[in-house]
Amino acid sequence: MEATLSAMPSRRDYSLLGRDAKRAVETGLSAAEWYHTDVPRKQMKELMKREDGPAIRDTIIWLGALILSGAGGAWFWGTWWCVPFFFVYGVLYGSSTDSRWHECGHGTAFRTQWMNDAVYQIACFMIMRNPVTWRWSHTRHHTDTIIVGRDPEIAVMRPPDLLRVVLNVFGIVDAWHAMTDMVRNAAGIISPAEKTFIPEQEQPKAIRIARIWTAIYAATIALALTMGSFLPLMLVGLPRLYGAWHHVMTGLLQHGGLAENVIDHRLNSRTVYMNPISRFIYWNMNYHVEHHMFPMVPYHALPRLHELIKHDLPAPTPSILAGYCEMVPAFLRQLRNEDYFLKRALPPTAKPYREELHNDNHAVAAAAE
């Protein structure tokens, strides 16, 4: 199966220690100055303003629904009635935590910092992302968004490994890596790649968290063995697998099939209109161009930011389905031609791209094919 889903070896080197990483630094592609839409300071201050209210409300709903659905699943365990409860619980555990991790990591969800920190730690545990490692990897993702060799969070590299993508709908590859990384960190080992983005003074914190988590998972497994039941694992750990599909579905749309090595988020990120339930689970990260351009703006203000700057952005993708209808064919085409990508068209009201800053001739040719 892999042979049909994989293409020839990539000319790109996505390793954080590799050839393309060095080249990105040497050419100034790394840590470059990115395009920003002009927004008057007064309006931007209004948009950046922090509040506790929206995130407290959403967190009460989220945790309340998590507890109720988990309790329902446990109550009906052993019957088919537990399935809808675990369906909801899984998405709240294995997908909602992707956006909670993200927003609280930015420190924008709540005005009160300890609230950001508390939800961040809970969400990190559920989504299986070491809170230290991932804070720093996400910092790099914002510095060098989809820059080959620099961005540690490129979800689909070229040529796309579609088997990996499909397995990750059930969290299989990501959870496996998360577990092996956790055990390695718990043993006191920080990998050479991790050392490229985690400052030395932060590394012991990553190790300490990994040890705590290892103890929690060991206790959960011990409880399951003692009870002779999968139920403890259905509540802790496994939801990262059976509930991952929603965050994978929305997350792939963020940058999938779009340009690499450009320094304009309008080219490499995608804003998608979504239904209210997905937007609650995803905390408005469907406004992804806006988020990358202005990461200081909290999730609850992103719709307002979108209205303010949409004249300068590519037309938003109208739905999740529409996003997949353009992205999947692009992935399939990249199996044959890894230089192919979806080039975003700007409206006439937008400031033009600075082609000389962010495109190479191969990429332009591939997009024009």
Partner 1 sequence: MSDWVEACDAEDIDEEDVMRFDHDGRTFAIYRSPDDEYFATDGLCTHEKVHLADGLVMDDIIECPKHNGRFNYKTGAARGAPVCVNLRTYPVRIDAGKILIQIG
Q: Which of residues 181-210 bind partner 1 (CB under 8 A)?
A: 199, 201-202
For partner 1, the closer of residues 202 and 326 by Cβ is 202
Number of residues lying near partner 1 (CB under 8 A): 22
- Residue 106 contacts partner 1 per CB under 8 A: yes
For partner 1, the closer of residues 85 and 134 by Cβ is 134
CA distance 210 to 219: 14
Q: How far is the CB of 302 from partner 1 (least distance, A)?
A: 15
- Residue 142 contacts partner 1 per CB under 8 A: yes
- Residue 351 contacts partner 1 per CB under 8 A: no
Report the alpha-carbon angle 248-253-257, nearest 5. 120
CA distance 156 to 158: 7
Residue 177 tokens read as 């890596």
Cis before 159 (ω within 30):
yes
Out of 6, 10, 143, 196, name the contact with partner 1 by CB under 8 A.
143
- Picking from 171, 205, 167, the residue whose alpha carbon sits closest to that of residue 188 is 205
- Residue 304 contacts partner 1 per CB under 8 A: no
For partner 1, the closer of residues 201 and 361 by Cβ is 201
For partner 1, the closer of residues 153 and 202 by Cβ is 202
- Residue 139 contacts partner 1 per CB under 8 A: yes
- Asked if 332 contacts 242 with a C-beta cutoff of 8 angstroms, the reply is no
For residue 281, report the phi and psi dihedrals to the nearest 5 degrees.
-60, -35
Out of 101, 136, 287, 340, name the contact with partner 1 by CB under 8 A.
136
What DSSP string describes 161-201? -HHHHHHHTTTHHHHHHHHHHHHHHHTT---HHHHTTS-GG
Binding site for partner 1 (CB under 8 A): 31, 44-45, 48-50, 106-108, 111, 113, 135-136, 139, 142-143, 199, 201-202, 294-296
